[in-house]
Amino acid sequence: MMKIIKTVKEMQGFSKRCRSDGKIIAFVPTMGFLHQGHLRLMEEGRRVGDVLVISIFINPTQFGEGEDFERYPKDFSRDTDLAQKVGVDVAFFPSSSDIYPKEYQTYVNVEQVTRNLCGLSRPGHFRGVTTVVAKLFNIVMPHIALFGQKDFQQLITIKRMVRDLSFDIKIMGIPTVREEDGLAMSSRNTYLKPQEREAALCLYRSICKAEHLFKSGENNADNILKEVTRIVKAENLAKIEYIKICDVNTLQDIERIDTEAVLAMAVMIGETRLIDNLVFEYPR
């Protein structure tokens, strides 16, 4: 039976006992409203750890003014049912006041890799992400933490934080899980109306085109970006926030793909912001 823990003190006590017993703790942080992408992370966590812990916490500090914090989808009963079915041992479900007590004033800021891509239009977002993840690491005390590659900048940022702050935690990035038609799975997909859901496929079509161009020998970033942008702009309901090709380590724009690189994009479909990416393996 999966255990539900709601306080920081109880979670820390549980993890200390597991560690003293020599058990490997695998951890999957989530904001809930689980989908198959989350479950894939949990399945891998079940494989690599003796104890599998997830967190369900909609983190207020990573949402900017006018973003969807208040309407972010929630279904705790459904989440716990799904988690239990994949073998989760503990669901950590803290209150906001336990994570951010009164007069809270300490934040973690990872600088360079957060400046481009989503960092351009979401000031403070990654500060909120790294702060809550650092707190969760200190509370859950995992040996291994698993993150999806769909949130590629987040994954790189967490890896940078772990290196810089000497966390003794292995970070595993798990490939993006997609719907049958290619749309990257996201809790925000539930916002999409039927016509918008169809329009959202322009992201995947553009990624497929980029992959084809790269595998055919194209390594000029601008040439690939022009084709990707053309495909997305052809969809009337799509509004591009950014489409860039970057070095996978620095997340700075590059002109030629002569090292491992990532095509990353954020696109508004109606009122819903979607992100997706493609990693160009190099050499081919």
What CA–CA distances, in Å, run from 159 to 46, 152, 227?
A: 21, 11, 31
- 3-state DSSP assignment of residue 146: strand
Residue with tokens 């000031």: 123
38 is catalytic: yes
Structure tokens at 194: 């039927």
**Around Cβ 142, how many Cβ atoms within 10 Å?**
28
Contact 232, 203 (CB under 8 A): yes
Both tokens assigned to 137: 């690491």
Residues contacting residue 166 through CB under 8 Å, at least 6 positions apart: none
**Cβ distance 64 to 124 under 8 Å?**
yes
- Which residue blocks in the chain are alpha helix, DSSP H? 8-20, 36-48, 76-85, 96-99, 118-121, 125-140, 152-164, 194-199, 201-215, 221-233
How many C-beta atoms surround the C-beta of residue 65 within 10 A? 7
Please report how the helices 221-233 and 201-215 are oriented relative to each other, as an axis angle in degrees rounded to 10.
150
Q: Which of 67, 71, 72 is nearest to 31 (CA)?
A: 72
Q: Which of 38, 125, 143, 212 is flagged as catalytic?
A: 38
Enzyme catalytic residues: 38
